[in-house]
Amino acid sequence: MDLIPDRSDYGDRSLSADDLQSDPLRLFEEWLGYAVEQGVAEANAVCLSTIGLDGCPDSRVVLLKGIEQQAVRFYTNYGSSKARQMAENPLAAMVMWWEPLKRQVRFRGRVEMVEQEISQEYFSTRPRESQLGAWASRQSEPIPDREVLQERLKRMDEKFPDSVPRPDFWGGYRLKPFEMEFWQGRTSRLHDRFRYRLQEDGTWSVQRLMP
């Protein structure tokens, strides 16, 4: 299979020092809001990379569900492969790609569990089907066929005919970045890149990078 030729032009959007903010998470919030306004599908989808127990990087797409003062937040099963990996090594990376805007945001940081009350508050807003799914799926464990999963979902539906409680094995994580990069695609592959790095005094340094 031949690779697709490198022919697309990323347009005339630009990113300059005047467009930046002192806090990269506030700039990220602005960019994410704009992506939502522009109708980018699953604008909060992010590729989360952790370090596997074998020392090899492991990646998957998750959905961001919150932006905090110093972190971004997502949710998962505490028994999933990514949760086990984060328990062993709490360093992780994320990358978001908004193709229609030719924009990319990268994160590197430390991961920690969020408080139980935050997980409970979010779980209560999920559709019933998603709540039941959290109970039905032993995430990352092998099963012989889909019927096993459907049967588990049916049993959970019968077990919780009214409200569905949050499982104690499901909840949120926050990634607190110590490095972020904002990337804006440009013509001739001369893209604009700015990297933020967290300093010991809590401020952020910023550098423009070669594309």
**Residue 44 forms beta bridges with which residues?**
none
Burial of 91-108, coded b for 16+ CB within 10 Å and e otherwise, reads ebbbbbebeebbbbbbbb
Question: Considering the domain 17-124+168-209, what is its CATH architecture?
Answer: Roll (2.30)
Residue 35: predicted pLDDT: 98
In this prediction the pTM is 0.92
Among residues 13, 26, 128, 189, which one is catalytic? 189
Q: Tell me the CA end-to-end span of the chain in Å, nearest whole number.
A: 28
- All structural domains of the chain with their residue ranges: 17-124+168-209, 128-165
Structure tokens at 106: 């990268």
Q: Copy the structure tokens of residue 4.
A: 């697709």
- The predicted-structure confidence for 155-193, as pLDDT tens digits, reads as follows 999 999 999 999 999 999 999 999 999 999 999 889 999
Closest to 60 in 3D by CA, of 50, 73, 47: 47
pLDDT at 77: 97
pLDDT value of residue 74: 98
Mean of all residue pLDDT scores within the chain: 95
Q: For tokens 């569905």, what's the residue?
A: 164
Positive or negative, the CA dihedral 109, 113, 117, 123 is positive
C-alpha to C-alpha distance for 138 and 55, rounded to whole angstroms: 24
> Quick one: pLDDT at residue 3?
66
| Phi, psi dihedrals of residue 113, rounded to the nearest 5° | -70, 145
Confidence of residue 73 (pLDDT cuts 50, 70, 90): very high
Q: What is the reported pLDDT for 9?
A: 73
Active site annotation includes 84? no
What integer pLDDT is reported at residue 41 of this predicted model?
96
Q: pLDDT value at position 17?
A: 95
pLDDT higher than 90, residue 5: no
**If pLDDT is split at 50, 70 and 90, which confidence band does 6 have?**
low
Per-residue pLDDT tens over the stretch 98-145: 999 999 999 999 999 999 999 999 999 999 999 999 999 988 889 999
Question: Residue 140 has what pLDDT?
Answer: 85
Residue 63: strand pairing partners: 45
Q: Please work out, in degrees rounded to the nearest 5, the angle formed at the alpha carbon of residue 108 by the alpha carbons of 103 and 109.
A: 140
